[in-house]
Every structure is written in structure tokens, then in C-alpha cells.
Amino acid sequence: MVTKSYNVLFICTGNSARSIIAEVVLNRLGKGHFTAFSAGSHPRGEIHPLTRAVLTRQGYDVSGLRSKSWTEFTKPEAPRMDFIFTVCNHVAGEMCPAWPGQPITAHWGFPDPVAVIGTPEQRLKAFADVEFQITNRIRLFINLPMDKITRMSLHASLTELGRPRT
């Protein structure tokens, strides 16, 4: 049972799909215990229309979403993060900023639905598949006994959640 409120930042390159989906999903599923944010190393400046479509279809509120830079979260007035997750392989290899407060970090790679080429139905399915994967990972995350395990064990659990399944 989570007894504290945690801030979580999801990072991707463009901040138009995967990180946005993770932000929206965690804000709903973790309401009261988690506050999620998202950002990009090179934000596109807009949310991908299929991200909005998939989230809206699932009943999520997409008003107020925006694509933003990770530099917003390095400023002194920014919320202090407890967890930071990279959700795309490209940004995982980039040099990330120094985050204040020593948050626990982990990589949770998901396929890039923006990169899918195909029919409109195939592209929408790619976004829906990623939303499903992210939602499942977040459900596992929010059920970890965060107040009962050590920081090192928690980091190991989060890293394990991000490993590809064979």
C-alpha cells in the first residue's frame, strides 16, 4: 500500500506519444499516490493525433496535454521527481540532465508507434498496442510495495519491469 505521494517523470525523445501516454495513464491509475509528468529531449511541440485518438477512445482526458522539454524539470521551481523512466531506446542512450533529489531511474523501452508505416488502421493499432503495454507496466509499478522495500531493491524491481519478455 502506497502511503506517500510520488512524482514520476516519463521521458522520450519527441514527447508526442509514449511519454504522454504514460503520463496520462499513471495520473489516472495512480491518482492520489502518484503525479506523473512527461517530457522530451527534443520535443516535437505537439501531441501526435493518434496519441490523442487512442487516449480519448480509452476515456482519458487529453485536454491540457502539451509536448515539452525535459529542461522544464531541471529548474529549481520544478517538482522534485522520485522516479524517472525513459520510455524509448533513443533517449535512453542520450546524456540526461542531472536531476535534483536523486530520483530512482529506469529504462522502460516501448516500440515507437510514430515510426509505424501502414494503413490508418495499422497505425492506430500500433498506438493502441503501446498504450496497452504501458498500462500493464504501470499497473505493475503502482502495486510495488514502495514503503516496504529498500531503495536498491526498488531500483532492481523497476529495472526488471523494463526488461523485454521472451
Q: In what order do the strands lie in the sheet with 6-12?
A: 34-40, 6-12, 83-86, 104-107
Q: Is residue 166 part of a domain?
A: no
Note the pLDDT tens digit of each residue in 111-127: 999 999 999 999 999 99
Q: Is residue 87 part of a domain?
A: yes
Q: What pLDDT is attached to residue 1?
A: 45
Q: Is the dihedral of CA 142, 21, 14, 114 positive or negative?
A: positive
What are residue 119's phi and psi, to 5 degrees? -70, 165
**Inter-residue contact 43 to 14 (CB < 8 Å):** yes
Lowest mean pLDDT among 105-119, 122-136, 138-152: 138-152
User: Number of folded domains in the chain?
Assistant: 1
Q: Is residue 1 part of a domain?
A: no
- CATH code, domain carrying 83: 3.40.50.2300
For 52, the domain range is 6-161
Q: Alpha helix locations (H) across the chain?
A: 18-29, 49-57, 89-92, 120-142, 151-161
Span between the terminal Cα atoms of the chain, in Å? 30
Q: Is residue 47 part of a domain?
A: yes
pLDDT band (50, 70, 90) for residue 165: low
If you average pLDDT over residues 8-21, what whole number do you get? 96
pTM for the structure as a whole = 0.89
Q: Is residue 110 part of a domain?
A: yes
